[in-house]
Structure 1
Amino acid sequence: MLWAVQGPAWAQAGAASDAALPAYTVKAQAPKATTEGTRSYTTGQAGTATPLGLSLRDTPQSVSVVTQQRIEDQGLRSVLDVIDNGVGVSVHRFETNRVDFISRGFKITNLMIDGVPTTWDSTWSAGEAVSSLALYDRVEIVRGATGLTSGTGDPSAAVNLVRKRATSKTFTGTGDLGVGSRNQRRGMVDLSAPLNESGSVRARMVGEFERADSWVDLKQDETKTLYGTLTADLTPQTQLSVGISRQDNDSDSPMWGGLPYWYADGTTADWPRSKTTSARWARWDSEYENAFAELEHRFDNGWKARASVSHGDRRSDTPLLYMYGAPDRTTGLGLATWPGWYGTRSEQDDVGLSATGPWRLAGRVHEAAFGYAYSKNRFRADSRTADLGLAGNFNTWDGSYPEPAWSPWTFYQKDHTEQQAVYGVVRLNLADPLRVILGARVTNYEKTGFDANGNTLFQMEVDREFTPYLGLIYDLNDTYTAYASYTDIFQPQQLRDIHSRYLDPVLGKSTEAGIKGEFLGGRLNAALSVFQIKQDKLGQATDENVPGSAPPEAAYEESEGATSKGFEIEISGELQPGWSVSAGYTQFRLKDADGEDVNTIYPRKLLRLFTAYRLPGEWSALTVGGGVNWQSRTWTETTNPAGAPARIEQKAYALVDLMARYDIGKQWSAQVNVSNLFDKKFYGLSDAFDQITYGEPRTVTASVRYKF
């Protein structure tokens, strides 16, 4: 879309003095990012890759958006569901309650809420992966390095959860009731209302409750989510938004670790998907509270200033039972038990200041954004231990393992992490078809570890780490745009060399190029890209120890890390009125500095497809849809219990989903979803412990929704 300079108010200012300037045009930013109410599988703009808020076509990186309509059509309930169905990303299952998210061969360590990175480490899970989608409008996924907006992390992707807001000036809402396989029950209410006659003060409240049994024996899950937000128009140009949310996740009898892949004689076990290693007393309970406030002011010249603060508090309480070893095929004996009880708390405070807007140079309008970001995280873990034991006959295991006598609570781990950063980015409209994005971020990072008495155990500092961003965008015509980009991201590593100095951070360098297309007035987006991600300064163990370390600490040296090379194809939006689609294919190679395959437990090829079609004419009340998620094989090389070299492999597999929705009237609708239609049996594997964790079998859900 092109518009002339006389369109917006800020461009009209000083028109008389600018009369002598030559006429020019600017490619406009897409008008809307919110997806609620659009019935679309794409969006007008996204702000996760850069703070400029560009359209997908104008963003020189791979960006996918899981919209509100797609969330409803597929019956997606959690962040894990989004990653399971998102283009270019996948879920690595290694337990029932902990997973890793993967993109382009690397773990995703950046989970953001409204563009603010939250601390997430799957080792100390506090329910992040199963966070409810009830309070979010959409999920933006930017693949590759995202250091400009997220600071630290891995060069994989950033997942940004964008909250619903109180925008309605009339009383409106949604109610949803659902049931499903394995005693699933769910209820959700989402209400919006003005709080004064003019509608300048608006509120929104979302509540959700879900309870279900699992395909894993003994396991039950219950989640409760509550979210409230208020928006006030302080002036026609100044807006204040505040909100608070809380999610409780209670999981009974979760598995800590997976199922043994081998019998003691070196043959493979083929357990039913319901098999568990958990005990009846085990649980994994977590809670997450988040509060935020944002103040935004729009100036007459088109600039916008924004200030935000947020506070997050995550806690978990996890008495668990771990099993390890290989059982005898006949007697079922041979597994050892390791009980452990952990209590964790992670508090995070964030402050952000930013300004974005247009500016003029050489007769053209350009855009700029700059800001300051501060984040502080305080983490503590305590533990209780118990005597190790034996599991007995695992062939007949039913979880009736007596709860042990636990030790008193003792200190386990404590650390503080603090980041400060300033950033800036400009988009220069050099010619009608050519735009350049130049950006940079400078970050100070400090992480300090403490013992139980508060004494410092370690202190890592990274000062003035420079993160560049370069993007080139060239319009080939009114439909297609070619682009190229380079950016990177750094990840501090708590490793020391033979001189007792901490290694420099791992640097993830991300290069990408491709062609994007925008069709049907922006209702359909497509992209073809090639990419390369290269690690540098990855710590590698030496044969020496850090001088004076007690107990002895292995010394490391910096080395070249892994390199990922591949390509991706994606299309999302409306093919024709009533027919929506989201589809993508990703393929890459990931090798270390010696040319050997690494991270082979992650799939190298991914196909994601889902489509929904509203029938025309007299059948317009009916929408039908379906999709397929396919991934290539995964494997790890190991040694079986008999001492022979062996491979654990999950062959390539496809999962098929179906849906149908019928609009009973203007306000009522009924929907049925079937996931894993053909009941495919599959698993994720651990390359360290020769264990596997089965994925979800066929599941059927039915729901009734009321909108007003």
Structure 2
Amino acid sequence: MIRVSIRAAMIAGVMPMLAMPSAAAQAGQTGGQATEAGEADPAAPKASEERGDIFITGVRQAYRGDFTLKEIPQSVAVIDGKTLQEANILRLTDALDLNASVARQNTLGGLWDGFAVRGFAGDENLPTGYLVNGFNGGRGFAGQRDVSGIERIEVLKGPAAALFGRGEPGGTINIVTKQAQLGETFGTTSLQVGSFDRVRADADVNVAVAGTLTARVIGYAESAGSFRDTIDEKRWGFLPSIGLGIGDSTRLTYDFEWTRVETPFDRGIVVLNGDFDTVPRNRFLGEPGDGDHVARATGHQLRVQHDFSDRWSLLVGASYRETLLTGSSSDAELVPSRQKLFTDGRSLSRQRRSRRYDSDHFAIRAELAGDFELGGMRHRVLIGADHDEFNNDQDFRRFRPPVLTPTTTDRAGNIIDILDPVYGRFPLPTPAPLNNRLDTQKATGIYIQDHISLTDRLQVRFGGRFDDFVLRTDNRITSVLSQRSDQRFSPQAGIVYALADALSLYAAYGEGFRANIGTDVSGVIFDPETSKSIEIGGKFSLLGGRLAGTLSVFQLDKDNVLASDTSNPGFSVAIGKARSRGVEFDATGRLPGGIDVLVSYAHVDAESRSTLLDPNFSFQIRPGDPLINIPGDTLSVLATKAFDVGGRQASIGAAVQYVGDRSGATGTDFRLPSHTLARVFGQVEVIEGVELFGEIRNLFDERWYANSYAALWVQPGAPRTGAVGVRTRF
């Protein structure tokens, strides 16, 4: 007899457990009904019937469990692939703009993803960390991540570090990739053209090869100019996935990543005396002769899921990823005594830098999930262990302008005239070695979580994680070898009380840490960054389940926080304590009239809690000083409506994002102004299986600024742009 386990199907994926489905997903696939575990969910794994057998076709995410949205003492938001496709979002950074709790941060001249969740960003000398299918995928130097191959993006906010381990207290971004769907054959292709000579092609083809073996081939290629003078970009990626069903309870999945990004390093514009019209937003102040920075990544993931029964399952996985970033750039000097621009208002003194950042990251994990009755109460447990090793090999070289004197020449300062730039005016200076070191981190952790249903309305969650880690830095220039080891226990606890079927209240507390990789300029390894987090909120479901959301308040406290050492790039300085607290509101669903909406608002107050004299610029950091690039208020609203045109499917949509003013340089009064961006998009099926789509971004051509590190390193946002394309489905 064939027995289909609904629970086994549910735990094979994360969306039925966590998802607050996006408006687009509801519009296109769920008929506007907010989904919970046990209900039909298009993002849930599917089961295929082959010769009388039932095979699991989805893969459960690690660090999860079998929970409905209202049972989780944590704020969770999901941005699904359909939303990304409808709005024609192409980069992870742009996708995260849809959640107000996520703020843009420094992107190393546009070469990595930098963002903060609930006010905290992590190490400024590394890309912001995120998970890919539960593995730490944000480490390394692979360029800004493309959305091709992304099934959905999960914004897992709140004090969950005790389970994930070694993360930021504000939250974790988990990217779930498109994986082979067993026993199915389907595909999409698209071609689009856009502003500034952008041309892009995508393909996603899932093919049932034989029996329960299925391959999914995903690829993209893009070539584009930019509103920035002399800046263009080329990128491509190959992201196949292979799935194999073994019997009726085991699923093996292998994912491959091979990507490349080529683009010049771009520090943006300069702002003098608070005047954001100092130069046009298109003006490039580097040197085209520096050529492109090239970012490469090669990655492998292998996961095996086995269901022992409808109550117990095991997930085992391993990941290995290599990245390499190489290139040279000419960047504005920040120290006033070396910067001629502060003297005459037009002559920009520039450093010249070269980078070779090479990294590899290996991780392995295993997790057992169970559901059982004990003492008359239901227990849902997660028991797991993981080990990872991260090697960060950096060769950084720099030429620096001399301290200004009456005899300092423009050539000596590598000067460019910001009002009338002439590229290639002087021979490019040769950078000298500044930082050549290998940072190694090895960490092993074990964790357990028990989610107990005390009554039909009251549930509690207890958990903890123990980590043992070793940090080692080999400075090849100074011949200083630094090493430290430490152990940490991170507890967590939560409670959920259902006032009614449509309303539940929750509270959660958690502690965590993040090892501070690298050293100060003298070779001392910093203490780990530690954190304490508390969150209280409520979750609701209205309009017969068609509108669902979360309202939460939080406070996060961190110690041993680091910032970049500007005088010694690649090194850090300790700035002590920081705190972030705020209020968030997330809602998604279908309004009367068939309008699907996604609304996200956040008020965040993120500030330093220590007194520090900055060693580079001699400014004072005081308690209450805001953290850089964190707006006080952010609002994002997206709405779509589907309809028929001559019997063909069509949809239109619009999105608005407001970002409040924010600090543009640590310890100063320089601030980036607020901005409001609008976007419209739509698509229509012209014949069966073929649709046209288009979009306009920054509809009202707002002048805006994405992020800043200092007044001389300000990243302007793009003006009004558009794109049109054609997509086929089969």
1:534 equivalent in alignment to 2:546: no
CA contact (8 A) 1:375 1:419 kept: yes
1:254 to 245, 253, 265: 265
1:569 to 581, 585, 592: 585
Q: Deviations over 1:227-261 (max 9, x none)?
A: 1111111111111111211110011x331x33221
Deviation at 1:84, TM superposition (A): 2.2
Inter-partner Cα distance in structure 1 for 2:351 and 2:542: 57
> How far apart in 1 are the matches of 2:62 and 2:581?
20
Partner of 1:20: none
Q: What is the SS of the residue equivalent to 1:697?
A: coil
Please state if 1:216 is matched with 2:228.
yes
Supply the AA of the counterpart residue of 1:358.
D
Please state if 1:348 is matched with 2:361. yes
- Report the aligned-residue RMSD: 3.5
TM-aligned CA deviation for residue 49 of structure 1: 9.8
Cα gap change, 1:91/1:691 in structure 2, threshold over 3 Å: closer, same or farther? same
Query: What is the deviation of 1:59?
Result: 1.8
Retained in 2: the 8 A contact 1:359–1:365? yes
8 A contact 2:627–2:666 mirrored in 1: no
Among candidates 267, 275, 280, match of residue 283 of structure 2: 275
Residue from 654, 659, 664 that aligns with 2:676: 654
> Are residues 1:318 and 2:337 paired?
no
Aligned residue type for 1:362: G
SS in 2 for 1:107: coil
CA drift of 1:435 comes to: 1.0
Residues 625, 268 of structure 1: CA spacing in aligned structure 2 closer, same or farther, 3 A cutoff? closer
Give the one of 628, 653, 657 matched to 1:629.
Answer: 657
CA shift, 1:650, in A, is: 2.5
Partner of residue 58, structure 1: 71
| Partners of 2:416 and 2:557 in 1: CA distance | 47
Alpha-carbon offset, residue 620 of structure 1? 6.3
Give the conservation status (yes or no) of the 8 Å contact 1:386–1:404: no
Change (3 A) 1:669 1:336: same
The 1:406/1:662 distance shift into structure 2, 3 A limit, reads same
Q: By how many angstroms is 1:281 displaced?
A: 2.3
Aligned to 1:57, the other structure's residue is in SS state helix
Shift of 1:93: 4.7
1:442 aligns with 2:454: no
* Cα deviation, residue 457, structure 1: 1.8
Gaps of 5+ in 1: 1-5, 12-27, 542-552, 640-645
Preserved contact between residue 141 and residue 159 of structure 1 (Cα < 8 Å) = yes
User: Does 1:516 find its partner at 2:533?
Assistant: no
**Alpha-carbon deviations, 1:22-68, whole Å to 9, x = none?**
xxxxxx99379699987359765798895215333222111110001
The 3 A distance-change label for structure 1 pair 230 and 685 is closer
Given that 2:285 and 2:416 are in contact with CA atoms closer than 8 Å, whether structure 1 keeps it comes out as no
Aligned residues: 654
> Match for 2:727 among 702, 705, 708?
705
Give percent identity, aligned residues only: 21
* TM-score for both structures, normalised by structure 1: 0.84
1:72 deviation in Å?
0.9
Give the Å deviation of 1:390.
2.4
**SS across alignment from 2:688:** coil
The answer on 1:394 being equivalent to 2:394 is: no
1:365-514 equivalences in 2 (<5 Å)? 365-385=378-398, 388=401, 389-401=413-425, 404=428, 406=430, 412-452=436-476, 457-463=481-487, 465-493=488-516, 504-514=527-537
Matches within 5 A, 1:13-52: 30=16, 39=28, 44=36, 50-52=63-65
Aligned partners of 2:562, 2:215: CA distance in 1, in Å?
A: 50
Matched, 1:666 2:688: yes
Contact 2:662 2:672 (8 Å CA) reproduced: yes
Alignment of 1:275-294 (within 5 A): 275-282=283-290, 283-294=292-303
Whole-Å Cα distance in 2 between the matches of residues 152 and 268 of structure 1? 39
Alpha-carbon distance in structure 2 between the residues aligned to 1:146 and 1:48: 15
Aligned residue number for residue 19 of structure 1? none
Q: Within 5 Å, which residues of 2 pair with 1:576-615?
A: 578-593=594-609, 596-615=624-643
d(CA) in 1 for partners of 2:551, 2:303:
36
State whether residues 492 and 511 of structure 2, in contact with CA within 8 Å, keep that contact through their aligned partners in structure 1. yes
Q: Tell which deviates more after alignment, 234-243 or 576-585.
A: 576-585
Query: 1:111 aligned to 124, 130, 149, which one?
Result: 130
The separation in 2 between residues aligned to 1:32 and 1:62, in whole angstroms, is: 10
Between the aligned partners of 1:554 and 1:167, the Cα distance in structure 2 is 45
Q: Equivalent residue of 1:85, what SS?
A: coil
Give me the whole-angstrom Cα distance separating, in 1, the residues matched to 2:265 and 2:637.
Answer: 31
Structure 1 partner of 2:248: 236
Moved more, 212-221 or 395-404: 395-404
Query: Which of residues 330, 340, 348 in structure 2 aligns to 1:335?
Result: 348
Report the CA distance between 1:600 and its aligned residue: 4.9
Amino acid at match of 1:436: V
Cα deviation for residue 332 of structure 1 reads 6.5
Q: Quick one: distance in 2 between partners of 1:31 and 1:513?
A: 20
- Where 1:106 maps in the other structure, the secondary structure is coil
Contact 2:105–2:708 under 8 Å retained in 1:
no
